[in-house]
C-alpha cells in the first residue's frame, strides 16, 4: 500500500468518526429536548421567569420529563412558558398541578419544576395551562439575609447588655451564682414552695368534694342562700352589738357607772348584800312554810283540815244570808219599822 492510499484511508476514517460523533450528538440533544418519541404540550404563565431559557429542563419529582420549548410575552407583566413533556408521564400530572422555577444546584441553570396535583383526579390534556408559583429571586434571598443579619446585630447588642447586667455584682443572677447565702435563700424558698404546692394538692380534692362546704357554696343554691342569710344575720348582729357597746359606753348607763362611779358601785354592793340577807330570810320563811305543823302547810297538805275550813266558810256564808233575810223581815215588821226609820234618819243627818 502506497503512501497516498494510506492518507486516503486515514481521511475516510476521520470522516466516518466525525459523522458518527455528529449523529450521536444529535441523538443525545434530541433525547434531551424530546425531539424523538411522542410528547404533549403544557403551558404556564409567570410574571418573572428569573432567567429560565428555552431548552431548560422540566422536572417532576426530581426527574427530567421534558424541556422548555418556548418563552414569549403575553403582556408587559406576563410571560407564557410552553413545555414539551413526555407522553408517558402525562398520567402523573393532574389539572391542579403547579409550575415553579428553581435552580439546578445552588447557582446552577434554571429549571422548571412541576408539582403534581393532590386533590384533582383529572389528568392534564395537550396544551392545557397549569398554575404557577412565584419564583424565588436572588434579590429576595439577599433581602431576607440582610434582615436576618440586622436582627442578629440587634440580638447581639441585647446579649451584650444582658451579659453586662448579669455580671453586675448587685444583679440577681450574679448574686445567685456568686453569693452563697442568697443562693441558699433561693433554695429554701423553692423548697417551701414545693411543700406548699403539695399541701395545696392535698387540699384541692377537699375543695372538690361534692359534700364539702366550698363546693356547695358554688353549686348548691339553697346552701349559698343559707350562707347569705347567715352573713346578713351576722351583719345585723354586729350592728346590734355596736349599738349595745355604744350604750354600754354611755356615761349615764348603769354598767359605766358601776365600773367608774365608786359611790354607785358601793350602793350597788350594799343592795346586793341586802338582797342576799332578804333571800336568806325568805329561805327561812319558806322552810317554816314547809313545816308540817304549820297552819298554812296543813291547809295545803291536810285534806281534812281543808274540808273543815271549806265547811266553815260555807256555814258562814249561809249564816250571813240568814241574818240578811232576818234584817229584811225586821224592817217590814210593824213593831220595828219605826226603829229602822229613825236610824236611817239619824244616818242621813
pLDDT tens by residue, 251-268: 666 666 666 667 766 777
- What would the pLDDT profile of 223-251 be if each residue is shown by its tens digit? 777 777 877 887 777 777 777 777 766 66
CA–CA gap between residue 172 and residue 167 (Å, rounded): 10
Regarding whether 110 and 52 lie in a shared domain, the answer is: yes
For residues 271-282, give the mean pLDDT.
Answer: 80
Q: Does any domain span residue 301?
A: no
Regarding whether 124 and 66 lie in a shared domain, the answer is: yes
Task: Name the phi and psi angles at 287, rounded to 5.
Answer: -65, -45
Q: Does any domain span residue 92?
A: yes
Regarding whether 70 and 8 lie in a shared domain, the answer is: no
For residues 114-126, give the mean pLDDT.
Answer: 86
Regarding whether 85 and 27 lie in a shared domain, the answer is: no
Q: Does any domain span residue 168?
A: no
At 43, the pLDDT band (50, 70, 90 cuts) reads very high
Average pLDDT of the chain is: 76
Are 33 and 1 a contacting pair, CB within 8 Å? no
pTM: 0.36
Are 54 and 69 a contacting pair, CB within 8 Å? yes
Are 261 and 254 a contacting pair, CB within 8 Å? no
Regarding whether 94 and 8 lie in a shared domain, the answer is: no
Regarding whether 12 and 86 lie in a shared domain, the answer is: no
Select the more confidently predicted residue: 300 or 278: 278
Q: What is the pLDDT of residue 71?
A: 92
Q: Does any domain span residue 314?
A: no
Q: Does any domain span residue 84?
A: yes
DSSP secondary-structure letter at 47? S
Looking at the structure of the chain, the number of domains it has is 2
Residue in this structure with the C-alpha cell 411543700, named with its chain if needed? 195
Regarding whether 20 and 99 lie in a shared domain, the answer is: no
Regarding whether 90 and 66 lie in a shared domain, the answer is: yes
CB count within 10 Å of CB 8 equals 12
Q: Does any domain span residue 26?
A: yes
Rama region for 245: left / alpha / beta (φ>0; ψ in -120 to 50; rest) = alpha
Regarding whether 51 and 24 lie in a shared domain, the answer is: no
Regarding whether 45 and 132 lie in a shared domain, the answer is: yes
pLDDT tops 60 at residue 299: no
CA–CA gap between residue 291 and residue 138 (Å, rounded): 130
CA–CA gap between residue 64 and residue 32 (Å, rounded): 9
Q: Does any domain span residue 232?
A: no
Q: DSSP letters along 209-256, please?
A: -TTSHHHHHHH-HHHHHHHHHHHHHHHHHHHHHHHHHHHHT-TTSHHH
Going by C-beta distance under 8 Å and a sequence separation of 6 or more, which residues neighbour residue 330? Answer: 336, 340
Going by C-beta distance under 8 Å and a sequence separation of 6 or more, which residues neighbour residue 287? Answer: none
pLDDT tops 60 at residue 311: yes
Regarding whether 51 and 19 lie in a shared domain, the answer is: no
The three-class DSSP label of residue 188 is helix
Q: What is the pLDDT of residue 137?
A: 63
Regarding whether 116 and 53 lie in a shared domain, the answer is: yes
Q: How far, in Å, are 47, 77, 136, 243 from residue 139 at the CA level?
A: 15, 18, 8, 86
Select the more confidently predicted residue: 249 or 72: 72
Among 97, 114, 136, residue at a domain's last position: 136
Among 136, 163, 192, residue at a domain's last position: 136
The range of the structural domain enclosing residue 18 comes to 1-32
Q: Does any domain span residue 148?
A: no
Amino acid at each position: 500500500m502506497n503512501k497516498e492510499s494510506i492518507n486516503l484511508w486515514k481521511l475516510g476514517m476521520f470522516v466516518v468518526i466525525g459523522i458518527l460523533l455528529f449523529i450521536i450528538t444529535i441523538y443525545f440533544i434530541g433525547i434531551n429536548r424530546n425531539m424523538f418519541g411522542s410528547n404533549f404540550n403544557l403551558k404556564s404563565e409567570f410574571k418573572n421567569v428569573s432567567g429560565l431559557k428555552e431548552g431548560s429542563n422540566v422536572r417532576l419529582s426530581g426527574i427530567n420529563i421534558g424541556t422548555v420549548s418556548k418563552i414569549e410575552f403575553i403582556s408587559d407583566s406576563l410571560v407564557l412558558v410552553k413545555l414539551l413533556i413526555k407522553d408517558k408521564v402525562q398520567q402523573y400530572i393532574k389539572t391542579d398541578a403547579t409550575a415553579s422555577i428553581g435552580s439546578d444546584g445552588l447557582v446552577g441553570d434554571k429549571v422548571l419544576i412541576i408539582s403534581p396535583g393532590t386533590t384533582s383526579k383529572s389528568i392534564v390534556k395537550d396544551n392545557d395551562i397549569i398554575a404557577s408559583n412565584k419564583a424565588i429571586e436572588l434579590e429576595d434571598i439577599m433581602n431576607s439575609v440582610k434582615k436576618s443579619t440586622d436582627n442578629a446585630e440587634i440580638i447581639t447588642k441585647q446579649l451584650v447588655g444582658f451579659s453586662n447586667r448579669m455580671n453586675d455584682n448587685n444583679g440577681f443572677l450574679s448574686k445567685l451564682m456568686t453569693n452563697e447565702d442568697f443562693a441558699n435563700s433561693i433554695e429554701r424558698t423553692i423548697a417551701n414552695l414545693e411543700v406548699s404546692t403539695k399541701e395545696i394538692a392535698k387540699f384541692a380534692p377537699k375543695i372538690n368534694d361534692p359534700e364539702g362546704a366550698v363546693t356547695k357554696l358554688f353549686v348548691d343554691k339553697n346552701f349559698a342562700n343559707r350562707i347569705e342569710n347567715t352573713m346578713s344575720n351576722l351583719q345585723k348582729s354586729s350592728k346590734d352589738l355596736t349599738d349595745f357597746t355604744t350604750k354600754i359606753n354611755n356615761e349615764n348607763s348603769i354598767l359605766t357607772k358601776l365600773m367608774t362611779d365608786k359611790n354607785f358601785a358601793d350602793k350597788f354592793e350594799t343592795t346586793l348584800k341586802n338582797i342576799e340577807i332578804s333571800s336568806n330570810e325568805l329561805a327561812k320563811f319558806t322552810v317554816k312554810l314547809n313545816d308540817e305543823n304549820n297552819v298554812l302547810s296543813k291547809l295545803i297538805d291536810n285534806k281534812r283540815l281543808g274540808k273543815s275550813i271549806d265547811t266553815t266558810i260555807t256555814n258562814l256564808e249561809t249564816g250571813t244570808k240568814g241574818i240578811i233575810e232576818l234584817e229584811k223581815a225586821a224592817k217590814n215588821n210593824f213593831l220595828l219599822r219605826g226603829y229602822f226609820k229613825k236610824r236611817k234618819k239619824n244616818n242621813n243627818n
